[in-house]
Amino acid sequence: MSAVKNVIKDNYNMMLLKDYLRTAIKDAGFSHAEISKTPTGTRVALHVTRPGIVIGRKGSGIRDLTDKLATNFGLKNPQISVVEIEKPELSPSVMCNRMASHLERGTAFRRATMWTLKQIMENGAMGVQITISGKLRGDRSAFEKHTAGILPRAGHHAEIIVDEDIAHVKTAMGLIGIRIRIARKEKFVPEFEMKVEKPKKIKQVQDETTGKMRDETETERKARTESEQIAIEEEKMKDLETLEEEEAKLK
């Protein structure tokens, strides 16, 4: 087999493996996998938001996943390690999956888009662009782009600073595609000059249950799985005002 065919086969297998992991460890907040071959086997590093779900009780989850990767994808002696993502909101893969879950549950596409945009920017992104395409409002296919912050579009800086990912979701109207591009401040190139906003003063309030002081903007409870995170976001999303609602008030 020629070198070109080998490359095509490896890329195709990687695509199948990524699609499988997106579904198999969806509740763990799967972002991406790094695969490297070693003399003793294949090293697989899984980047997720909740490592405990992947590992399972007494390592049962890791063992099951190892067997499936060896059997279904032909990986030689796979050695799986789990890496926790510190800021899930700055991972395009995680946010694509979350937005796809919202659309699967029947949330309006603009409400889901604006909520995702808001979450990414509030967690320290330099800029973000969300493109959603498909049969959004009728029989004809259409697309919308929503942008916030500073996002380099082309050139060497864009390759360094910007991360992106694509997800697809099946809805009653048809297949919808989601593309998220995030510019991260950590990868910032020193040639640019950025204006840093002064941090807002956070008010301290007393927690009713524990009696301890906490920040007023602190989240109420932390989700254990991605499904719980989606459910919590859906409740908060109801307070978000969309462009259609603003237009209706002006009429």
Q: What pLDDT score was predicted for residue 146?
A: 93
3-state helix, strand, coil in the chain (%, to 5): 40, 25, 30
Token pair for residue 101?
A: 């879950």
Q: What pLDDT is recorded for position 71?
A: 86
The whole-model pTM stands at: 0.72
Provide the CATH topology of domain 90-250.
Ribosomal protein S3 C-terminal domain (3.30.1140)
Q: Look at residue 7 in the predicted model and tell me its pLDDT.
A: 63
The pLDDT assigned to 129 comes to 94
Q: What whole-number distance in Å separates Cα of residue 35 and Cα of residue 46?
A: 9
Query: For residue 180, what pLDDT is reported?
Result: 94
All residue ranges of the chain with pLDDT < 50 are: 1, 217-219
- The domain spans of the chain are 3-84, 90-250
pLDDT at 219: 44
Q: What is the pLDDT of residue 213?
A: 65
Secondary structure, 3-state, 71-98:
HHCCCCCEEEEEEECCCHHHCHHHHHHH
Angstrom distance (rounded) from CA 211 to CA 206:
6
SS3 for 129?
Answer: strand
The per-residue pLDDT for 212 is 63
Q: Does domain 3-84 bear CATH number 3.75.10.20?
A: no
**Separation of first and last alpha carbons in the chain:** 66
